[in-house]
Every structure is written in structure tokens, then in C-alpha cells.
Amino acid sequence: ESLAVSIVTCLTWLYSAPVLEAWWGRAAWERQAAADAMEALGAVLSCPVCMELFSPPVLLLSCSHNFCKQCLELILVCQNCTHGNGQFCCPVCRKVIYLRGRGTNGLQRNILAENILEKFKEELEMLHTKEQNQLAQTCEKHGESLPNLPDYSMCLSDEEPICGICKLFGDHKSHPVAKISDAYAERKVSFAKDIQLVLQKSESAAQAVQDTKKLIRELSTSAADTLAMIATIGDSLLRATKCRIATLKRQLESEHSSKLEKLQLVARELEAPQQLYQQMTMLLQHHADTVQFLHEHKRLKREMVRLMEGSMSPQIPIKDTISIRRYFEELIRGIDITAFVPPETDQVLANAAGLREAWQAGCATQGRLSQQHVLGTGK
């Protein structure tokens, strides 16, 4: 009710000034009165917290002051009133307001203010459109209304509307002019013909537009399908490659363990004479008594007999290293290795002579690397 009273008071005051009306003239007075009325009404419809037009929903307190709901919730936070049964002070009159268990949802909503606000915004939009139209019908240089010169209102040289001052004293005083109504009628007919030309152009290009859009859709579809293929097949290839690498590592570990065990056994057999010699020398030089000597002598004698029964010349074990070539060929099987040449390849090839031939064999059908690169001497 207080909001409605304020609005009525503003309008009554604005339309009760006959002295101003006589001074400005009725038309000017009406324009100024409308502007003042809108400004006053806008002030009444503004939130005292954000100082902007109300943002619905508009809440009405028991003290008759109105606020945006979001502004009121901000006030509650600032006053540490964050529960439904709290209380806070009105930012305008400081009256204590009780929420009574429902928070801001329990406060009265001012539907009247929201309806007036909606109509006010519509009126503002209409006034803005009207002002733009008035500006379009006014001479930019002199501010004179263009229809004030009924017979000569269109400059034919510059193709633009002009006012009386432009024709008599301005840049257009020596230019041919015509009635704006005649220019309007002529250009309207010409513009209609131009529209038909554009329509024909549009219709002739319609099929091409449809074909182009179809190509765009097909391109997007093919890109999506290709991406899905890359993801699916790529993941499968990665899994297969990782599985192959893991298998080769297990094979390498098994082969290494087996060959190492054999070589260690041979090494122990070859070291047996040296160890027996040291034990026999130690017994001869450092036995504690006769009993110990006889006891150890018997054991070492048996070891010597067993050792001497074998071959007198040591059997040098056959070289049995890991075949890098075999593992390399298995690793790159089915892969274009020329596309994967990491910087450390030269050092790998230089340290593994047996790998060079395998590398050359793998590259034979896929383009040869330079001899310098294959030999590991490239910089």
C-alpha cells in the first residue's frame, strides 16, 4: 500500500505545475513530465540495498519496506542470521523482523510491486524505441526535424535526408533535392526489385547450400568414426605391444637364469682344483695334531682322487650369450621400424654388433637407413 501511495504522489506532483507548462510549451512540458515521472517511478521501484530496479521476487517486510529476495538474503548473512527462526533488522528503518521458521520463504511477496515493475520496464523499452525513432528523423548537424521542409527533404547527390538549414546554408545548398515522399516511393520500388534479385540468388544457391551442409555432416561423421577407430584399434595395438614386451621380458629372464646357472656350475667345477690345493696346503702347514691331520687327510685324499679321475686339461665353456638379434626381430615383427628411430639408437647399435644385421633386415622392405646410421657412427 505504501508503494502505491508513493507512486500516486509522484504522478500528482508531476502533473500539477501549470507555470512550467506555460514556460516550456505544452509539448516540451509533456516530454519533461514523462521523463520526470519515469525517473521518480524508477526510484520508487528500486531496491534500497542494491540501488537497482527490483529483481523479482520482491519481498515485503512488516515495516512496509520492499527488497529483492537475493539482497535480503545477503543482509541475513551479514547480520549472522542464517537459520529459519532467526531475526534481523530492516536496513532502512532498523525494525526487528522475525523469520518465524521458514526463512525468507516465509516473508510476504509483493505481487503488486512486481506487476508495476514489469509494466515499468515495458514502458522504458517503448520510450527508448520512440527516442531512437525521433533521433532518426532529426538532422544530425542542426537538430531540425526533417519533415519541416516538405518540398525539398532529400539530397539526390548524397542520397540522404536533409533539413532546411542544410539546403539553404549547408553543404547541400547547390545539390539537387526532391520531396522525401517521392524519393521514398521510388526507392521502395527499387528496393523491392533488389529483394527479388537477392531472392533469385538465394534460390539458385539453395541446392548448393544443402549439398555443402550435407558434406559438413558427412565430414563430422567420418571424423567421429575415425576417432573412434583410432581409439579402439590404438588401444588394442597398445595392449598387444605391451603383452609382447612382457612376454619377451619373461622369456629373457628365463633364458638368462638358465644359462647363468649352467655357467656358474662350470665355474665352480673349474675352481675345484684351486680350492682343493688351498685346503691341502693349509692342512699340511697348520694341522693341530696327528689325529686331526689323519682325519682331514683321508677326506682330502678322496677329493683328490675324484678330481684326478677327470680330464687333466680344463674344459673351457662354450660361449652362450643372449641373442639380441632374435629378441629384436620378435619385438619389431610387423612394425615399420623406420618410423621409430629414437636418439639413443646409435649407441644401442654401436654396443650390440649382432643387432646391426637384424636392423638392416627389418629395414630392407621399408627403405634403407644410411650405412653411417646403421653402423652407429651418425652424429
Query: What is residue 68's three-state secondary structure?
Result: strand
Give residue limits of the domains in the chain. 2-136, 146-178, 188-309, 324-374
Mean pLDDT of the chain: 76
What share of the chain has pLDDT > 70, as a percent?
Answer: 68
CB 54 within 8 A of CB 47: yes
Global model pTM greater than 0.85: no
Per-residue pLDDT, 249: 94
Distance from chain centroid for Cα 2 = 51
CATH level 2 (architecture), domain 2-136:
2-Layer Sandwich (3.30)
- CA distances (Å), 68 to each of 42, 45, 119, 341, in order? 15, 10, 17, 68
Query: What is residue 275's three-state secondary structure?
Result: helix
Mean pLDDT comparison of 119-123, 172-176, 349-353, highest-scoring range: 119-123
Residue 74 CB coordination number (10 Å) = 14
Q: Is the pLDDT of residue 351 over 80?
A: no
Tens of pLDDT, residue by residue over 269-296, are 888 888 888 888 888 888 888 888 888 8
Per-residue pLDDT, 208: 87
Q: Which residue has the higher pLDDT, 314 or 101?
A: 101
Write out the DSSP string of 289-332. Answer: SHHHHHHHHHHHHHHHHHHHHS-SS--PPPP----HHHHHHHHT
Confidence of residue 157 (pLDDT cuts 50, 70, 90): confident
Strands 58-60 and 108-109: antiparallel
Mean pLDDT of all residues in 29-46: 78
Per-residue pLDDT, 141: 60
Mean pLDDT comparison of 122-131, 249-258, 293-302, highest-scoring range: 249-258
Q: Is the pLDDT of residue 217 over 90?
A: yes
What is the domain class of 146-178 according to CATH? alpha beta
Return the H-helix or E-strand segment holding 58.
strand 58-60
Q: Which residue has the higher pLDDT, 174 or 214?
A: 214
CB 178 within 8 A of CB 152: yes
Nearest CA to 154 among 141, 172, 136, 135?
172
Q: Starting at the edge strand that comes first in sequence, how are the strands of the sheet with 58-60 ordered?
A: 66-68, 58-60, 108-109
What share of the chain has pLDDT > 90, as a percent?
Answer: 17
CB 56 within 8 A of CB 117: yes
